[in-house]
Amino acid sequence: MKGRGLWNCLPAAVMIPLLLVCPAVAQRTGDAASQGLPAQAPDPIQSGIVVETVAKNSAEEEAGLRMGDVLMRWTRGATQGALDTPFELYRIETEQAPFGTILLEGLRGAERQVWSLGPGEFGLTARPNFTGTFLALYQEGQELAAAGKVIECAERWRVLAARLSGPSAPWLPVWLFFHAADRLGAARQWKEADDAYQSALQQAEKAAPMIAGQLLQSWAKAYLLRNDWANAEKYFQKSIEESRRLGDGELGIALSLAGLGVVFWEREDLKKAEEYYLHALGIREKLVPGSLLIAGLLKLRGLVAANRGDLAKAEEYYLQALEIRKKLTPGSLLIAGILNNLGLVAWQRGELAKADEYYLQALENQRKLAPASLDVAESFTNLGIVALDRGDLTKAEEYFRQDLEIQQKLAPDSIDVVASLNNLGRVAQDRDELAKAEEYFRQALEIQQKLAPDSLVVAEIFNNLGSVEVMERGNLAKAQEYYRQALQIQQKLAPGSLDVVASLNNLGRVAQNRDELAKAEEYFRQALEIQQKLAPDSLVVATIFNNLGNEALERKSGDLGKAEQYQRKALAIREKLAPGSLSHAESLAAVASILRERHQMETSAQLYAQAINALDEQTSRLGGSQDIRSGFRARHSAIYGEYIDLLLAQKQPERAFPLLLRKAIRRQEHSRQHAEPQRQHSQRVQ
């Protein structure tokens, strides 16, 4: 989930489209006369700028701005200025809005209006106030772009720009170029957009040098959006250099510094990401303490701390950000974002009820403000993971499918689709639908290796595929290969992290299955050391204790005392964090088995009974077909068998008989369900 929403932690000002048309487009364009333009253009625009779009839930929507409104002036306290160009919006949002309320003055039709912009995310785009033929040609370009004819749109605006150069509005051609290329970028015509930036910058240097820093920053953002981290870094740095040379405001520079932090976060260089965030935070704390800009950087620092495993520090940063956002923008989507981050910290600690509470609060907020959005999808993912950890596979699958439906509609072939497929694979795996699980994991891997090979997400998928190899085919050699590939990536990108724990644990299980018990114990202890440091008393700690307990039993001496000690530690954690789950049932049965070996029959029988009740409850929450439920019962039939044997050994056949009957009925169900799907399939073919 790491990649989702990172750029949105930065202020919205940089989101203003700044893409330009390429020289190649210009070469295909005819002269002005062939396009129906007048030979001269003395008055191409009127005063002010015209609102084109107002983002939902933005500060501008809250203020009541609409498409077609004409903005003439802005005021903040004693500071004011004219809105002569759309470029001024960037400066207002970046350098003025963080200091307080902005008043925008303008016209709606012939009526004068004043709009008050309070704190919140900005989401306004505007165009020059074109007149006559120039307006018609601009609108023709808009219509071509809307029809998917972005090359024709770019050509139309290039010709218009060629006739608008002059001393009265030197910025106007540059604006048309970048606006055209924004369409090219949206159509993923990256090469053309990059060529266009170069041309636009050359023109800006001659006609409007103060715009250059903005163009470079936007170009960097375009590279960020396509995962080209090297060029994103290059152009953020150039933007900072240009802004300093021209004496631009420090808050714009802080925005580029935060962008560099995102670049290094995506490269998984957490140290450098933190350095850039701190640099940006220092500027903002000096100029606009307690602002939403501070909250955005606190959230980014929280993400870094969480990925380093410092959950206490991450929670501290998130709570500080939440306090600012609740004060300045109560009930906004910004608050939902922080609630999701706090839920993640609780989940990493194993506090599942607390995590669920945070995620549900976030989802309620998002459904009110942005239904069927990527934000809602993120909350579905988080809630699904909590349900999965609690063993509620029906609810988990429901959440993950809702997530995938939104992702495939709004962000196909993205890292978030990868996460959705991966999570559905985990549900299928827990249901023993292993072929289906492998299919989901391979779909996820194919997308992720195109987006970012050798990333931590690829390592996660390698771990999942390794688990399928063990469970479906018993292929320990192939599983070990997957796990080692995962560990190699993780130790390079995130040494000493929670990700490393997963691979060490998996390698320990492979060694255990190969009877390499000393090696298995070494892997488990390495994993336990990291996990207890980062998230003590979590469900993962319980899993490692369980593994160590099993390993102690399998040694020649069969150390029952040590095995019981480990298994009771695992049981205590699972009983607290995930009562009634599959893992809880397995821990109950593990302790019961050890007690039976130690001849503590009555206590053993009590724990077996609790384990079977938990399994029956788990079966009712599996979802899927009867075949799936029957297969689940068969997978854990050993626990029923051990309990029956114990009751018979205690000469309590009256307690054993109902269990034997249930076991026989389930065996019949399982046999019948294997025959029925073939008949149903045959009927569908007919």
Taking 50 as the threshold, does the pLDDT of residue 397 lie above it? yes
Taking 60 as the threshold, does the pLDDT of residue 674 lie above it? no
**C-alpha distances in Å from residue 489, one per residue of 460, 463, 482, 492, 510:** 10, 11, 11, 5, 19
Provide mean pLDDT across the span 450-466.
90
Q: What is the mean pLDDT of the chain?
A: 83
d(CA 135, CA 141): 10
Q: Give me the pLDDT at residue 58, please.
A: 87
Specify burial of residue 109 (Cβ count, 10 A radius: 0-12, 13-18, 19+). Answer: exposed
Question: pLDDT digits over 470-491, tens only?
Answer: 877 788 999 999 999 999 999 9
Taking 60 as the threshold, does the pLDDT of residue 6 lie above it? no
With cut-offs at 50, 70 and 90, classify the pLDDT of residue 16: very low
The answer to whether 528 and 544 are in contact (CB under 8 A) is yes
Q: Give me the pLDDT at residue 663, please.
A: 52
> Which helix (H) or strand (E) covers residue 107, if one does?
strand 102-108
> Which helix (H) or strand (E) covers residue 260, if one does?
helix 250-266
In the numeric block, which tokens belong to residue 680? 């149903």
Q: Give me the pLDDT at residue 158, please.
A: 83
Q: Give me the pLDDT at residue 76, please.
A: 93
Provide mean pLDDT across the span 39-53.
78
Lowest-confidence pick of 163-177, 516-530, 534-548, 652-666? 652-666
Taking 50 as the threshold, does the pLDDT of residue 200 lie above it? yes
d(CA 460, CA 563): 30
Taking 70 as the threshold, does the pLDDT of residue 439 lie above it? yes
The answer to whether 2 and 139 are in contact (CB under 8 A) is no
Q: Give me the pLDDT at residue 5, please.
A: 43
> Which helix (H) or strand (E) covers residue 395, if one does?
helix 393-410
Q: Give me the pLDDT at residue 32, please.
A: 42
* Better-scored residue on pLDDT, 414 or 207: 414
Q: Give me the pLDDT at residue 572, please.
A: 94
Provide mean pLDDT across the span 28-46.
52
**C-alpha distances in Å from residue 469, one per residue of 447, 481, 535:** 21, 10, 29
With cut-offs at 50, 70 and 90, classify the pLDDT of residue 257: very high
With cut-offs at 50, 70 and 90, classify the pLDDT of residue 504: very high
Question: pLDDT digits over 588-600, tens only?
Answer: 999 999 999 999 9
With cut-offs at 50, 70 and 90, classify the pLDDT of residue 628: low
Q: At what angle do helices 653-685 and 637-649 cross, to 10 degrees?
A: 160
